[in-house]
Amino acid sequence: MKNLDQRNQIIEYSLKLNSTNLSPLRSGNISLRGIEDDIEGYLITPSGKKYETLKPEDIVFMGLNEEEEKNDSNNKPSSEWRFHRDIYVSKKEAQAIVHAHSPHATAVSSHGKPIPPFHYMIALAGGDDIKCAEYATFGTEELSNNVIKALESRSACLMSNHGQVAFGKNLEDAFELAQEIENICHQYTIALKLGQPKILSFKEMKKVLDKAKNYKKG
């Protein structure tokens, strides 16, 4: 089977969506950039299947140039295949994508507002705040366009009344960032219970962003 290692890796991290409570039951989706038969594309989780039942042949390969839902599998790809494709097309550095309906990120996203720099770890998403993509029906081109806009100069964003999406240089990186976003959202909801938190200045966040470039390098 083609890309067996990548397919197994997607299954591994799909199971982690459930085991870490980052995304319950069938919710969320995961993809990896890949090539099959000299076609540049991506492998993505199928629509509607429980992660615990996934097999390598269930993972769907789709070409980056596909304008419609065409794939190499008997399964339908995740309903969110469109924004996965568009992220890969617009973000050459994106090698893996994790979309989750994580509890705190989803709760914060229901307010449809960006998360301000109440904590310097906001910088892990790539900017001085975490944007929230405007709401649109799941699986639509409108939603994909909104997500791409919210990801401008960012590697993660919230999706209004929906959840979050993060990308990285590999699945471990993307998954870890999604966990960081969920943790930040959890902290933010606690902070709001105490009132309006102090917001770090643009000048301070610029210093933090410079430091954050080397954060994962130790």
Instruction: Look at residue 62 and tell me whether its pLDDT is greater than 90.
Output: yes
What CATH number does residue 147 fall under? Answer: 3.40.225.10
Mean pLDDT of the chain: 93
Answer yes or no: is pLDDT of 177 > 70. yes
Residue 98, domain extent: 4-217
What pairs with residue 115 in β-bridges?
130
Percent residues over pLDDT 70 in the chain: 94
The model carries a pTM of 0.94
Of 31-40, 96-105, 166-175, the one with minimum mean pLDDT is: 31-40
- What's the pLDDT score for residue 125? 95
Cα separation, 59 vs 91, whole angstroms: 22
Average pLDDT over residues 3-11: 95
Secondary-structure breakdown of the chain: helix, strand, coil percentages, each rounded to the nearest 5: 40, 20, 40
Asked about 204 being catalytic, the answer comes back as: no
Q: Given this model, what pLDDT does residue 98 score?
A: 98
Question: Torsions phi, psi of 62, nearest 5?
Answer: -135, 140
Domain count of the fold of the chain: 1
Q: Categorize the per-residue pLDDT at 1 as very low, low, confident or very high, splitting at 50, 70 and 90.
A: confident
Convert the pLDDT of each residue in 65-120 to its tens digit: 866 555 666 789 999 999 999 999 999 999 999 999 999 999 999 999 999 999 99
Q: Is the pLDDT of residue 35 over 70?
A: yes
Catalytic choice (66, 67, 80, 182): 80
Per-residue model confidence (pLDDT) at position 67: 61
